[in-house]
Amino acid sequence: MPGLEMHRAAEEEGQDADTSDEEDEELEQDAMLCPGAWIGRWSRIFIARARAGKPLGHLDKVVWDHGHVWGVKVRLVPLANSITTDRVPLSDDDREGKLRLESYQIRATIQEVYVTPKFFEDL
C-alpha cells in the first residue's frame, strides 16, 4: 500500500489513524478484529471526497533500488473510481455499521529519474 498523504499521516502520527475509543465502544467483538488506519476518520473523509468528485491528495515519493544506485521520483494519485468500501457492524441489531475503506488503486507517474556514479560503474 503506497503512503498517500492522508494515509501516511494517519500511520506516522497516529492522528485519526484508528477509530476513536468512543466509536469503538459500540463495535461488535468481531469488528474489533478490523483495526488500523483503513477504518479511521481520515478514510471516511477520503471516501466522501471521492464520491463527491473532489480532488484526492497525491504523494510525491522517491523510491530507490536495493543498492541505492538508481531511483525514481513518482507521483502517486489515488483513482477515485477504484475505491471499494465495507461496513464494520456496530452491533447485532445495527448491521449498517461504520464505513471502512477496503481498497483503492493508484496511478504512479514518474517525475524524475536519479542515478548515482555507481550506476555507470556497473555497466
> pLDDT tens-digit profile of 35-73?
555 667 777 788 888 899 988 888 888 999 888 899 999
Question: Global pTM?
Answer: 0.62
Q: How far is CA 36 from CA 12, 27, 62, 104, in A?
A: 12, 14, 25, 16
C-alpha cell at 42: 481520515
> pLDDT tens-digit profile of 80-107?
899 888 877 666 666 667 778 888 898 9
Q: In the predicted model, is pLDDT for residue 113 greater than 80? A: yes
**Domains of the chain, residue spans:** 5-121
Look up cell 471516501; give the residue. 47
C-alpha cell at 64: 530507490
Note the pLDDT of residue 67.
87
Q: Are 58 and 108 in contact (CB under 8 A)?
A: no
